[in-house]
């Protein structure tokens, strides 16, 4: 079955939606309810993006970076919806200075970390942006491999797509005109070697090792694909079935730009469940023990060949 323009091409309209898929894959009841609640919230975020009309006058966020009004609005939408779900005890996002307790009820056991609107600065030029979600059970300051139970990546582009994993493979859904998340690709499988790469940071700030790695990929005929929205670029690699995205350690910033808990861990989980790898150039992202909520890290994420080649050359 294929999805075209958000519609189901199968005229019999027998399809699998997100809720049915979670049930068939035996995702725990409250976790699948939470995943569905976040999926519904993405519809509200999408509507907010479309009504923004590029009115993006910003303020400074807690890290001293420019924060768009749209960032703040989507963060509030997500936080309130998680509170409403009843399954989330704690919420942390790039837009908040600290962890927020959203619910203390008997069913509230999950910790949600989010980048509510990754790539928001691209709205005014109409490029794809998205929402990154990590759902944790237990201590969020442990390595993600011990506490991360589900990840979601929602991309707002020509189509609204949602990729999720709950440790059962990575799967993609498309939001159709009827407002249903329809399965478009189940058990995404990435090739061991791709044909595309994207990398952040200024070339002048790259290390010699990273520069040589890029040169090696280009010698092998790799094509550059880079939009500036992490969630969209990694989703591109995953859905195309191979390739690599990197944001390296920089000469003037060895911790790089991307935030470990809010961005890297959830996307690493999705990629690993699709057969890829995610490292900081040396250590697997899911094995890193965070030292701070806003910890940053370099990232090499994608097919095994490219990421392992990076790890070898960075030694």
CA angle 46–47–53, rounded 5-degree value: 100
Q: Give dist(CA 223, CA 202) in Å, integer.
A: 18
Average pLDDT (2-31) is: 72
Q: What's the pLDDT at 91?
A: 97
- The domain covering 3-185 belongs, at the CATH homologous superfamily level, to Fructose-1,6-Bisphosphatase, subunit A, domain 1 (3.30.540.10)
Q: What's the pLDDT at 54?
A: 55
pLDDT at 14 over 90: no
Give 44-89 pLDDT, tens digit per residue.
999 999 887 655 545 455 544 444 688 889 999 999 999 989 999 9
Neighbours of 179 (CB within 10 A): 8
Judge: domain 196-314, CATH 3.40.190.80. Answer: yes
Domain residue limits, the chain: 3-185, 196-314
In angstroms and rounded to an integer, the radius of gyration of the C-alpha atoms of the chain is 19
Residue bearing tokens 């059970």: 137
Q: What's the pLDDT at 55?
A: 53
pLDDT at 113 over 80: yes
Q: Is the distance from CB of 217 to CB of 261 less than 8 angstroms?
A: no
Give 180-220 pLDDT, tens digit per residue.
999 999 999 999 999 999 999 999 999 999 999 999 999 99
Q: Are strands 100-101 and 171-175 parallel, antiparallel or unpaired?
A: unpaired
Give 223-241 pLDDT, tens digit per residue.
999 999 999 999 999 999 9
Q: What's the pLDDT at 121?
A: 86
Average pLDDT (112-126) is: 92
Computed over every residue of the chain, the mean pLDDT equals 91
Among candidate residues 259, 278, 293, 266, the one with its CA nearest the CA of residue 149: 266
Q: Give dist(CA 90, CA 61) in Å, integer.
A: 20
Q: In whole angstroms, what separates CA 227 from the centre of its chain?
A: 14
Please report which confidence band the pLDDT of residue 123 belongs to, taking 50, 70 and 90 as the band edges: confident
Burial class (CB in 10 A: 0-12, 13-18, 19+), 312: exposed
Of residues 69 and 164, more confidence is placed in: 164
pLDDT at 268 over 60: yes
Share of the chain above pLDDT 90, in %: 83
CA distances from 69 to 118, 123, 125, 259 (A): 13, 12, 16, 21
Q: Is the distance from CB of 136 to CB of 284 less than 8 angstroms?
A: no
Of residues 294 and 12, more confidence is placed in: 294
Q: What's the pLDDT at 4?
A: 42
pLDDT at 114 over 80: yes
Sign of CA dihedral 167, 225, 41, 180: negative
Backbone φ, ψ for residue 73 (5° rounding): -65, -45
């Amino acid at each position: 079955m294929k999805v075209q323009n958000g519609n189901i091409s199968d005229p019999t309209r027998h399809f699998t939606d997100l809720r049915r898929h979670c049930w068939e894959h035996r995702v725990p009841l409250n976790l699948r309810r939470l995943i569905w609640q976040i999926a519904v919230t993405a519809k509200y975020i999408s509507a907010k993006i479309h009504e923004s009309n590029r009115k993006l006058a910003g303020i400074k966020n807690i890290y001293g970076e420019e924060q768009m009004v749209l960032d703040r609005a989507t963060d509030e939408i997500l936080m309130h919806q998680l509170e409403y779900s009843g399954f989330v005890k704690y919420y942390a996002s790039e837009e908040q200075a600290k962890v927020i307790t959203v619910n203390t009820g008997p069913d509230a056991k999950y910790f949600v970390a989010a980048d509510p609107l990754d790539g928001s600065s691209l709205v005014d030029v109409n490029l794809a942006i998205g929402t990154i979600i990590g759902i944790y059970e237990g201590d969020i300051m442990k390595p993600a491999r011990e506490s991360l139970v589900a990840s979601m990546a929602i991309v707002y582009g020509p189509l609204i797509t949602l990729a999720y994993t709950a440790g059962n493979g990575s799967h993609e859904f498309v939001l159709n005109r009827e407002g249903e998340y329809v399965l478009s690709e189940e058990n995404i499988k990435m090739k061991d070697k791709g044909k595309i790469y994207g990398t952040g940071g200024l070339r002048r700030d790259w290390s010699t090792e990273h520069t040589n790695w890029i040169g090696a990929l280009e010698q092998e005929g790799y094509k550059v694909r880079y939009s500036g929205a992490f969630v969209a670029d990694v989703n591109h690699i995953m859905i195309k079935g191979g390739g690599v995205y990197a944001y390296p350690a920089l000469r003037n910033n060895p911790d790089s730009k991307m935030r470990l808990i809010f961005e890297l861990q959830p996307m690493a989980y999705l990629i690993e469940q699709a057969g890829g790898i995610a490292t900081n150039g040396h250590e697997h992202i899911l094995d890193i023990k965070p030292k701070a909520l806003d910890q940053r890290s370099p990232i090499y994420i994608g097919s095994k060949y490219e990421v392992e080649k990076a790890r070898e050359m960075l030694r």
